[in-house]
Amino acid sequence: MDKLSKKDFDHFLGEKQYYDSSSDKNRFFKKKKGMRFMRRLVPQFVTAVLVFSVFILIINVGIPPLSEQGQTDLEIDPHLKNQIEIAESEEEMDRILEEHLHGLSEAREKGLVKEVNQQYNVPDSEINLRVEEVWVTDEHMHLMYSLPVSEEELKTSDYRFHLSELYIYKNEEVGNINFPHHRMNEVHLAGILFEDRMYGVYSTQPLKTEGSDSLKQYDNEFNVNFYLNYFGERLLIDDVYLPLKYDSSNYEYETMDVGETFSFEEEDLGEIKLDVESIETRFDSEKINLSLRGEEGINVKSVNTRFGDQTGENISQLSGGEEFTVSLRDEIMKGDQMPIQITSIGAITDKRLEFNLPISELTDRNDVKTSINVAQFKGNNIYLKESSFVDDELRLLFLSESGESEPNIKFQLQSIHQFPFNEETVTGNILRIQNSEGDNLSEDYSIDRRGDGGLVLSIPTESIGEAERLFFTIENLSYDVEVDETFEITLPDNQ
């Protein structure tokens, strides 16, 4: 075989190829100059790509994404930082949740917490709501969720981004239910910051039928609307599926009888008896059932109580009748005895106040008459400060002032209007206003509260007619009395 020359190598390897440029069959010739240009450009292009990659790498290393940054190193508004907790790991976040949601740890162990891990997107937005877990009892539904958060949002003093409303519908057994929002504000926690999301808990009352009966068991396909508060803007995620399952047999209470009765004397109330009837316990909550009874003519309507330690954190405001049920924290129930301190009692008396006002003494339709005492209750003087005819109305300004015998009681003529004079309160409802002919004016008058605590009663002159007097009846008088009584309850042996 003849020795190949450099020209032959060039011919076969393409380093230098020789073609007849005039030949129409040479389809490569027209790309010849472009190919040479590309060979010179490729090294420069590769170099540029490498330089750009190194630049991006430096940027990413220098400013890592929020999810990779140390949570404690973030720049967070001081006010917001005081409201939230910051978790560095999933374990720490679970610990915070279990610390603020009593019974959550035990519910997880029993398999009663449903992992959802379902994401719902806000239409036409990059915002998404992720439901992490749902825990349902016969008292609450706790929905644990998360929302995205950015560094810029964490720097704002008015951070507001949370699930504000939950609407469940399209279920034959439950019907349409609009749940109010009880965020983690119940435990003074606005949220938990973990990586690039803010975690929160939405707590509601349990699911109920139209007859307000709590459902004992359900495992249905619920459709929901989520409403988000995004810095004051209301965002809607509508008609999405939320899996919910609940069986009340997992939440049965064990009832233990206590049967202790305590009594004490109070100057304004007479003898008050406190009956501690029973204690109900289960893994996620404890209840104590008690009642307060007053003497004849006194109905206890509310009570402030403090259980366990005396830090003031365990005060319960109870109202609605003589029978009360108090939900307690688990740590309060430890030990053989538990103190109950009663700090105030609200009572309703069957006493009526009746008074009448002559029209001639109220006003001569030109001048304003002042300072007419009309009634007294618990040392409070109720008096008419001003009366006048204005715009075809008789306007009466009532005020209350405390007498020396009861400096801590104040009076109001209607329960929605309060005279802010002292620490304790006396309330009442105006049941009737009649003219001298016996016509009932109660549907005609209106009541307005003034900034100074005055109560303005406006009665149309046509309703008064030619009457010479107006008759007033005040009933359902109630008042709060400060109490400082402490009792030791002996807890049942099987507690």
**Could you read off the pLDDT tens digit of each residue along the chain, which spans 495 residues?**
455 454 444 444 444 343 343 444 443 334 444 445 455 555 666 566 565 665 555 444 444 445 455 555 678 998 888 888 999 999 999 999 888 887 888 899 999 999 999 999 999 888 999 999 999 887 778 889 999 999 999 998 888 888 888 887 766 665 566 665 544 434 456 789 999 999 988 887 777 666 666 777 887 767 888 989 888 888 999 989 888 888 888 888 889 888 888 888 877 778 888 888 888 888 887 888 888 877 776 777 777 777 765 444 455 666 655 677 777 766 666 667 778 888 888 777 777 777 777 777 766 555 555 667 777 766 667 777 778 887 788 888 877 665 443 333 333 333 322 222 233 444 444 435 555 555 555 556 676 766 555 677 787 777 777 777 777 777 666 677 788 888 888 877 654
Under 8 Å CB-to-CB from 421, ≥6 apart: which residues?
400, 401, 402, 410, 453
The residue from 221, 251, 281 where one domain ends is 251
In a domain, 247, yes or no: yes
Task: Check whether residue 240 and residue 145 sit in a common domain.
Answer: yes
Task: Check whether residue 83 and residue 209 sit in a common domain.
Answer: yes
pLDDT number for residue 359: 74
Task: Check whether residue 156 and residue 288 sit in a common domain.
Answer: no
Cβ contact 481:347 at 8 Å: yes
Q: How many structural domains are present in the chain?
A: 4
pLDDT number for residue 316: 66
Cβ contact 356:433 at 8 Å: no
Task: Check whether residue 220 and residue 155 sit in a common domain.
Answer: yes
Task: Check whether residue 333 and residue 220 sit in a common domain.
Answer: no
pLDDT number for residue 453: 57
Residue 325 belongs to domain spanning: 256-350+483-490
pLDDT number for residue 312: 43
| CATH (domain of 418) | 2.60.40
**β-pairing verdict for 191-194 and 84-86:** parallel
Task: Check whether residue 427 and residue 445 sit in a common domain.
Answer: yes
The residue from 186, 217, 251 where one domain ends is 251
Task: Check whether residue 381 and residue 417 sit in a common domain.
Answer: yes
Task: Check whether residue 169 and residue 281 sit in a common domain.
Answer: no
Cβ contact 333:309 at 8 Å: no
In a domain, 495, yes or no: no
Task: Check whether residue 364 and residue 427 sit in a common domain.
Answer: yes
DSSP secondary structure, 34-83, as one string = HHHHHHHHHHHHHHHHHHHHHHHHHHHHHS--GGGS-GGGS---HHHHHH
d(CA 59, CA 354): 82
d(CA 362, CA 368): 8
In a domain, 178, yes or no: yes
Task: Check whether residue 211 and residue 82 sit in a common domain.
Answer: yes
Residue 367 tokens read as 């001048």
pLDDT number for residue 149: 92
The residue from 251, 266, 299 where one domain ends is 251
